Amino acid sequence: MSSPASRPVPPAAANLLNLRGAVDLSSLKQRPASPAGAGTPQEGAQQGAAAGAAELKVNVTEGNFQQLVELSAQVPVVFALWASYSPESAAVLEVLERVVAGYGGRLVLGAADIEAFPQLAQAFQVQAVPTAVAVLKGQPVPLFQGSADEQQVRSLFDELLKVAAANGVTGSLGAGAAEEGDAPAPLPPLHQAAFDAIEAGDYAAAADAYRQALTEMPADHEAKAGLAQVELMARLQPLSAQDSEALRTLAANEPDNLEAQLGVADLDVAGGHVEDALNRLVSFIGRNFGPERETVRVRLLELFDVVGAADERVAKARQALARVLF
């Protein structure tokens, strides 16, 4: 595996929405329990927290992986997949451990050597190392691949904790509160209002708050991304597993069905299949003209905001869009 240039993805909120089929962790969950006396990851993390929040780190093994997945119902667990042949791995692990320490036990870091535990890399569909993937309530949330600096990681973790709270995961492993200098900065009032609405499951109110923020400050990129995310969340909220499968079948049978193609693109972005989603919409634009083409173009730009302008997949999709438009 080669290690790509830095390409951290944007806030992770949308990735959590519908992860059915995104990653199958079931084959890794039927592993032997930890050896007697080794302690569970939660116990180990809590012991580390008692000594100092900087020790909220667990080395992932086949024996403790299932326990870490179960722990993700209490706090998000960030898996850092690394390898000795990757020169970036050590630096990324150091950044992740330092940042996790600043969250006072609200996050746990699981460091996974994919040379020792290759099944985990396969399960998470890892293309290169280092890669960071969070697990929340047993569901994977892609974070970033390659390098990431401390500010980027903090931004991702802030968003991850918002999504965790919106899904009822608000626990702590008992670590002391983060030092004042490490505490995340308070959100602007309208952003806080949007977060509170998301936590209450009121995506319409969250969207209204973000729209108001954009009215007051049109260059507020975080509000623009937040609006795209909550609109995606609102579109996916009513879909059951059966609805999703029916939508995929319809899209496969009717490649020019506007609503089906838009719906499956939403599902794919939420499930982590970003390239599939963006390519689907670019292809639709290339085949169609008139108002439907413009509708899909606007949705594609919204999904660019969800995924993030700095993401390599967005850059490729923008180039492909330019080719089919011009």
Distance CA 88, CA 182 (A): 24
- CATH number, domain 241-325: 1.25.40.10
Confidence at residue 64, expressed as pLDDT on a 0 to 100 scale: 86
The pTM for the full model equals: 0.51
Distance CA 101, CA 107 (A): 8
- Percentage of the chain beyond pLDDT 70 is 79
| Same-fold call for 7-166 versus 241-325 | no
Q: What is the pLDDT of residues 269-297, one digit of tens each?
A: 887 788 999 999 999 999 998 899 999 99
Q: Count the Cβ atoms, other than its own, within 10 Å of residue 31.
A: 15
Confidence at residue 149, expressed as pLDDT on a 0 to 100 scale: 87
- Check whether 181 has a pLDDT greater than 50: no
How much is the average pLDDT of 242-255? 94
Using CB atoms within 10 A of its CB, is residue 21 exposed (0-12), middle (13-18) or buried (19+)? middle
- Percentage of the chain beyond pLDDT 90 is 40
Is-contact 145 127, C-beta < 8 A?
yes
Q: What is the pLDDT of residues 45-67, one digit of tens each?
A: 433 333 333 348 899 988 888 88
> Taking the domains of the chain in order of start, what are their residue ranges?
7-166, 186-236, 241-325
Sign of CA dihedral 101, 153, 58, 34: positive
pLDDT mean across residues, the chain: 79
Chain centre distance of CA 177: 25
Q: In angstroms, how far apart are the furthest CA atoms of the chain?
A: 67
How much is the average pLDDT of 203-208? 93
Q: Residue 204 is encoded by which pair of tokens?
A: 């319409």
Using DSSP's 3-state secondary structure scheme, residue 101 falls into helix
Q: Which class does domain 7-166 fall in?
A: alpha beta
Distance CA 174, CA 127 (A): 35
